[in-house]
Amino acid sequence: MRPTGYVSLWREMGGSRAAPPGPAMATLGSVIAQLASLVRTASIVYVIVQVAIWHSFYAASPVRLAGPALAVAWASAVTARLRRRWPSVLLVGADSAFYVALALGAQQCVPPGIRDDAFSWLVISLSGQLIVPAWYAPGALSLPLALLPPAAYWIGAMPRQATDLKALTGSALLLCAIALAHGLGRRELYRRAETADAALGEADRAASEQYAILSRNIERREHERLLHDTVLNTLTAIARAAPDDPDNLAGVLDRCRRDVALIEDVLADPADPAAGGRGPGDPLGEVRAVIADMRDRGLSIHVDIDDEGAPAVPARVTAAIANAAREALANVAAHAGTGEAWVRVHLTPPAAGAGSPGRLQVVVRDRGAGFDLARVDQARLGLRRSIAERTADCGGQASIWSAPGQGAVVSMSWPAPARAGEPEPAGRW
């Protein structure tokens, strides 16, 4: 939690970088700096225009140009600084000191006809300067520094004879009102920015905690799917096998070895290749490995690969789609009543200039017994967790179509399409 108070807020906004500002405070500081530079630029233009209008006054005594010339030069330097970064405490102090000196000593550089008026170049320059100390000075000094130039303007005008006291008072009060308005704006906007940053920080912490919980849940579900896809399926195969057939026993043992290797691969650290973790995603390689494994288990699989260009598929997505395809093929072998399946792999490259990561789609089809989706037992994990949830957890989408006597089609795609669609009918390929 950042320290509160306007001194600490000033430190965050450029006086000291002990702690970085939050997004709201940083945005506010940047906007005010841009606004200050625009105000200073406008005051520079105004001074130049007024000097041009009263050229006869300045031509009579070129020394009178010293005041507006210094005002333009200093304002230009500060404006350039504000466009690059927020002002430091030193710059704020120097800026206030310059305008106090200008207010005290530049009264004779203003044409007599507008000397006490609120639209003289001196008053306009002073009003444009007030935004810097009001917003960027340390909290305890903000208002005093903003009120110094109006006070100096009043003091500098008093020794003159024939001073228009009413106009002078009005101009000084106008400068004070501008300073107070900046002070109130600073107080309110800084408070809101600090509140927004605190709320954003709290939301970020809550999101991080929820992300950690979600990651653990996804990992736990993947382990449950892995147990279903390997151990439970293998135990089912063992229970159905003939116990006195040596060839069958050898096949079961080989299947158990592959299951152990698959479990070790999933549980390994993905960032550690030596530990068996996966490198960059290889969709075709992993799907082909699944197909080879299921062929070794006696399933006849026809493969159709439509490779328009390999998209950049993350390794975790590749593994999720491949494992979902493995479960779909395992369901064909165990429940479809047929030893034949079709697998179609479609790889779409990223669209030029569209910012799309491309698309991976794997469709598993069979012409077996089929089933009624409405009558599938919700306690069965194969379709729900091993295919649908596994694909959804990696940002993809799975759809399943089947009807009694018409086989089944399981489609898995990543990234998920903009609109959920039905899988391709069995008769199309």
160 has pLDDT over 60: no
Residue 213 falls within a domain, yes or no? Answer: no
Residues 37, 166 within the same domain: yes
- Domains in the chain: how many in total? 2
- C-beta separation of 152 from 199 below 8 A: no
Using one digit for the tens of pLDDT, what is the confidence trace for 32-60?
888 989 999 999 999 999 999 999 999 99
Residue 342 domain boundaries: 280-428
Domain boundary, last residue among 172, 206, 240: 206
Q: How many CA atoms lie within 13 A of 84 on its CB side?
A: 8
Looking at the whole model, is its pTM more than 0.75?
A: no
Residues 60, 197 within the same domain: yes
pLDDT classification of 162: cutoffs 50, 70, 90? very low
- Residue 314 DSSP label: -
Residues 183, 36 within the same domain: yes
pLDDT cut 70: percent of the chain above it:
71
Q: Which two tokens stand for residue 65?
A: 């140009």
The CATH number linked to 329 is: 3.30.565.10
8 has pLDDT over 80: no
- Residue 405 DSSP label: T
Q: Which two tokens stand for residue 220?
A: 């736990």
Residue 403 falls within a domain, yes or no? Answer: yes
Residues 202, 325 within the same domain: no
Residues 298, 193 within the same domain: no
Residue 288 falls within a domain, yes or no? Answer: yes
> What pLDDT is stored for residue 275 in this prediction?
39
Residues 125, 12 within the same domain: yes
- C-beta separation of 161 from 115 below 8 A: no
Using one digit for the tens of pLDDT, what is the confidence trace for 251-270?
666 666 666 665 556 555 54
